[in-house]
């Protein structure tokens, strides 16, 4: 065992991502996740701008820090509009929900 030596493994992240995006099924699944991650980005940005911690937000809306962590982490549970409204109020924001037309794809 003393003769074992660490050998790094080369991994080109950009090339791997590019290869993944060549797969149409992968690209569709990736695109389907965008709304979820857009919401997470909005939550994190709003809390950051408020200067509040997860614990402070949790205390303000009457929940736990772990519940806020799950909300901001995109757990499998989809948050209710009521929860999002409370979160928005806690961080000094309005909750705005809108529907946008889908972009037309090249094939239809």
Tens digits of residue pLDDT in 35-45: 889 999 999 99
Both tokens of residue 12? 């080109």
Tens digits of residue pLDDT in 31-85: 998 988 999 999 999 999 999 999 999 999 999 999 999 999 988 788 999 999 9
Q: Where are the domains positioned within the chain?
A: 15-90
Handedness of CA 57, 59, 64, 65 (dihedral sign): positive
Q: SS3 of 81, please?
A: helix
Indicate if the pLDDT at residue 14 is higher than 90: yes
Mean pLDDT for the stretch of residues 9-28: 92
% of residues, the chain, pLDDT over 70: 95
Question: What's the confidence (pLDDT) of residue 107?
Answer: 59
CB 91 within 8 A of CB 49: yes
Question: What's the confidence (pLDDT) of residue 7?
Answer: 85
Pick the CATH number of 15-90 from 1.20.58, 1.10.260, 1.10.8, 1.10.10: 1.10.260
CB 48 within 8 A of CB 90: no
Question: What's the confidence (pLDDT) of residue 106?
Answer: 64
């Amino acid at each position: 065992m003393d003769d074992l030596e660490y050998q790094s493994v080369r991994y080109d992240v950009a090339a791997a991502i590019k290869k993944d995006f060549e797969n149409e099924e992968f690209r569709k699944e990736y695109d389907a996740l965008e709304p979820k991650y857009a919401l997470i980005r909005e939550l994190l940005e709003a809390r950051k701008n408020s200067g509040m911690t997860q614990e402070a937000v949790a205390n303000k809306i009457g929940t736990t820090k772990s519940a806020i962590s799950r909300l901001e982490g995109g757990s499998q549970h989809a948050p209710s509009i009521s929860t999002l409204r409370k979160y928005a109020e806690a961080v000094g924001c309005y909750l705005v929900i809108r529907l946008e037309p889908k972009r037309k794809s090249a094939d239809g």
